[in-house]
Amino acid sequence: MAKDPICGMEVDEKTAQYKSEHMGKTYYFCAAGCKAKFDEDPAKYVGMHH
């Protein structure tokens, strides 16, 4: 399972409809809204999780 970097929900990589790639890593989202937020400013969300 992957964690939605926006809302923290668990997302199954196999069935995730929404995903984005950033710096060679794939991020998965539970909804289009979360993906859109991430795409606007990926660094804001990625920085918090490393």
Q: Could you list the mean pLDDT of each consecutive 10-residue stretch along the chain, which spans 50 residues?
A: 96 97 96 98 78
Q: How far apart are CA 6 and CA 37, in angstroms?
A: 8
Boundaries of domain holding 21: 2-49
Which positions ≥6 away from 25 have C-beta within 8 Å? 46
Confidence (pTM): 0.86
**Structural domains counted in the chain:** 1
pLDDT of residue 47: 72
Nearest to 20, CA basis, from 43, 39, 37: 39
